């Protein structure tokens, strides 16, 4: 099927250092420009983000710091990218919530003119989510081929959820899944441990997702200016951040986990202080000269005489 276009439609996707619009930067941008005459023009740019790429992000898109060392900065590419897009409308997957806002941040950051006033935006993910709704009622119809009666009544929803899982186990038992790292498996099996792993891809510390474990099993922030950083290290260098979170509108369980990390840090500081004192004491003792027995005997004789 050919798109019915009045003017070009630029499909684009960003690979970035992270998902925080105001802080993270582009490391790659790909654009497929569909023209009204049916022509397709594609172009991809690698971008030096002028900041380290967190390992968590590199594991997703496969772009590491060494891959962009010699690439141009966004400020050097901005006009070229803007000119390539031209007056085209914009399309993407989750682009309204992420790609478009982040691209605009980059243009504004380098003071590059990019007029958005007359553009149309097509977010393919929104079509998917609205046409193939992800409600329990829709899942029950899809997997169990039946209408959910008394939807939103707790008992009916509970029974429906149970029946949907049984149907999923039957439907996907031999279906392969490839994760973002390219690993292939058949995770939807009649095994609670496997189902737990598959439905909890992020190892959360606090269940609300504000704190997660990294690949080293360290607690790291999953939001804000310290996203991806060790909670313990941030608290050590910026203790006021702990106070801000404790006073902020965060879930009580999140605050409980913050207290555990804070107390563990204070314990480490106490142990380091004790170790330091012990080392200083040992140094002083090592500086004390051993008693010369011959000199001591001579001193005794002197006093006797």
Domain that holds residue 120: 9-129
**Is residue 282 domain-shared with residue 302, that is, in the same domain?**
yes
Listed as ranges, residues in the chain with pLDDT below 70 are 201, 286-293, 295-305
* 107 vs 109: CA distance, rounded Å: 5
**Is residue 110 domain-shared with residue 55, that is, in the same domain?**
yes
Phi, psi torsion values for 143, nearest 5 degrees: -90, -35
**Is residue 41 domain-shared with residue 152, that is, in the same domain?**
no
**Is residue 78 domain-shared with residue 107, that is, in the same domain?**
yes
Tell me, what DSSP letter sits at residue 21?
T
**Is residue 122 domain-shared with residue 149, that is, in the same domain?**
no
| Residue 1 in domain | no
Q: 88, exposed or middle or buried, with CB in 10 Å at 0-12, 13-18, 19+?
A: buried
> Residues 99, 14: contact at Cβ < 8 Å?
yes
The answer for residues whose C-beta is within 8 angstroms of residue 150's C-beta and 6 or more apart is 156
**Is residue 271 domain-shared with residue 176, that is, in the same domain?**
no
Domain final position from 129, 152, 187: 129
> Residues 59, 79: contact at Cβ < 8 Å?
no
Going by C-alpha positions, the residue among 17, 47, 18 that lies closest to residue 31 is 47
| Residue 206 in domain | yes
**Is residue 259 domain-shared with residue 226, that is, in the same domain?**
yes
| Residue 178 in domain | yes
What per-residue confidence (pLDDT) applies to 129? 84
| Residue 228 in domain | yes
* 189 vs 153: CA distance, rounded Å: 28
**Is residue 183 domain-shared with residue 272, that is, in the same domain?**
no
The answer for residues whose C-beta is within 8 angstroms of residue 177's C-beta and 6 or more apart is 184, 185, 186, 187, 188, 198
**Is residue 25 domain-shared with residue 116, that is, in the same domain?**
yes
End-to-end Cα separation, the chain, in angstroms: 120
| Residue 217 in domain | yes
| Owner of token pair 């619009």 | 21
What per-residue confidence (pLDDT) applies to 302? 64
| Residue 3 in domain | no
| Residue 258 in domain | yes
**Is residue 175 domain-shared with residue 249, that is, in the same domain?**
no
* 305 vs 297: CA distance, rounded Å: 13
Domain final position from 96, 129, 162: 129
* 57 vs 80: CA distance, rounded Å: 26
Phi, psi torsion values for 32, nearest 5 degrees: -115, 115
Domain final position from 199, 218, 243: 199
Phi, psi torsion values for 148, nearest 5 degrees: -85, 115
Structural domain count of the chain: 3
103: CATH: 3.30.420.10
**Is residue 121 domain-shared with residue 163, that is, in the same domain?**
no
**Is residue 15 domain-shared with residue 118, that is, in the same domain?**
yes
| Residue 4 in domain | no
Going by C-alpha positions, the residue among 212, 27, 50 that lies closest to residue 102 is 27
């Amino acid at each position: 099927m050919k798109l019915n276009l009045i003017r070009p439609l630029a499909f684009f996707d960003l690979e970035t250092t992270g998902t925080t619009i105001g802080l993270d930067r582009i490391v790659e941008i790909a654009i497929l420009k569909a023209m009204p005459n049916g022509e397709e023009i594609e172009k991809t740019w690698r971008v030096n983000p002028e900041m380290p790429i967190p390992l968590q992000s590199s594991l997703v898109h496969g772009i590491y710091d060494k891959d962009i060392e010699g690439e141009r900065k966004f400020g050097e590419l901005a006009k070229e990218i803007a000119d390539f897009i031209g007056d085209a409308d914009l399309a993407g997957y989750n682009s309204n919530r992420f790609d478009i806002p982040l691209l605009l941040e980059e243009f504004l950051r380098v003071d590059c003119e990019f007029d958005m006033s007359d553009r149309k935006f097509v977010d393919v993910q929104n079509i998917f989510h609205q046409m193939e709704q992800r409600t329990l009622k829709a899942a029950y119809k899809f997997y169990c081929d039946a209408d959910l009666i008394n939807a939103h009544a707790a008992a009916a929803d509970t029974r429906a959820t149970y029946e949907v899982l049984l149907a999923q186990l039957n439907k996907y038992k031999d279906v392969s899944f490839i994760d973002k790292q390219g690993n292939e498996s058949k995770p939807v099996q009649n095994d609670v441990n496997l189902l737990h792993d598959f439905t909890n891809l992020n190892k959360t510390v606090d269940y609300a997702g504000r704190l997660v474990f990294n690949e080293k099993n360290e607690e790291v922030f999953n939001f804000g200016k310290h996203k991806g950083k060790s909670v313990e290290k941030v608290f050590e260098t910026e203790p006021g951040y702990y106070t801000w979170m404790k006073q902020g509108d965060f879930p009580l369980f999140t605050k409980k986990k913050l207290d555990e990390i804070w107390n563990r840090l204070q314990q480490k500081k106490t142990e380091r202080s004790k170790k330091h004192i012990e080392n200083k004491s040992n140094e002083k003792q090592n500086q004390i000269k051993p008693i010369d027995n011959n000199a001591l005997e001579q001193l005794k004789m002197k006093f006797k005489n």
